Chain A
Amino acid sequence: QSVLTQPPSASGTPGQRVTISCSGSSSNIGSYTVNWYQQLPGTAPKLLIYSNNQRPSGVPDRFSGSKSGTSASLAISGLQSEDEADYYCAAWDDSLNGWVFGGGTKLTVL
């Protein structure tokens, strides 16, 4: 059972917009910034969004992040086949004195 809660799966057709939610508590998302990581099949995780809504250099602006209270969301617009991957949210947690991840959401492009 992960500290941060994500839906296990999401799907969309090419060109669509999909969102992935991440729910936490006051000891993590409610007090700290949220990051999102993309893990393509068979590869290491890669930073996708940091500090709630910032994109690292090289990440397309189709990807966006937001945070409100103890929840965060990742939105992907103009869905492409290469977006098929696992997506993880993460944040620092005061109670555990460490980082916590969501369980991951497997995105399928139909």
Chain B
Amino acid sequence: EVQLVQSGAEVKKPGESLRISCKGSGYSFPTYWISWVRQMPGKGLEWMGRIDPGDSRTNYSPSFQGHVTISADKSISTAYLQWSSLKASDTAIYYCASLRIAAAANWFDPWGQGTLVTVSS
């Protein structure tokens, strides 16, 4: 079964650093880009950025560039999303998703189960 399994919920204080993970299984992890998507409480989905696990190329949404870092370790089929200094406004559920491509189309499937990050003093 193709799946993405994310790390567990985190509670952090403002200014702390954090790295959450997304482990792929059931497929060739380096073959498909991984994206991260944010969902703030009661809000919609926002694309943050993506990484090619094969060579670690990344690109970020302008809204998130400079605020987070996306990385990957293909040897353990895992992608990461990290913050160096969290803010209360980073409180959200973060999803990873695998990008599938066929012909001129692309889509996210599957998705991880989500990681809740709570930032509060």
Contact = CB atoms under 8 A, between A and B. Distances in A.
Interface of A: 2, 32-33, 35, 37, 44-47, 50-52, 54, 56, 86, 88, 90, 92, 96-104
- Classify the interface of chain A: helix, strand, loop or mixed: strand
Interface string B34-78: 010100000011110110000000011110000000000000000
A35 B44 contact: no
Interface string B90-121: 00000101001011111111111110000000
Nearest to A102: B44
Contacts of B95: 44-45
Contact of A45 (B45, B49, B62, B104): B45
B107 A50 contact: yes
Contacts of A97: 59
Nearest to B60: A98
Contacts of B108: 35, 37, 45, 47, 90, 99
A44 to B, nearest CB: 5
Given A33-B105, A96-B62, A44 B111 contact: yes
Contact of A50 (B35, B46, B62, B105): B105
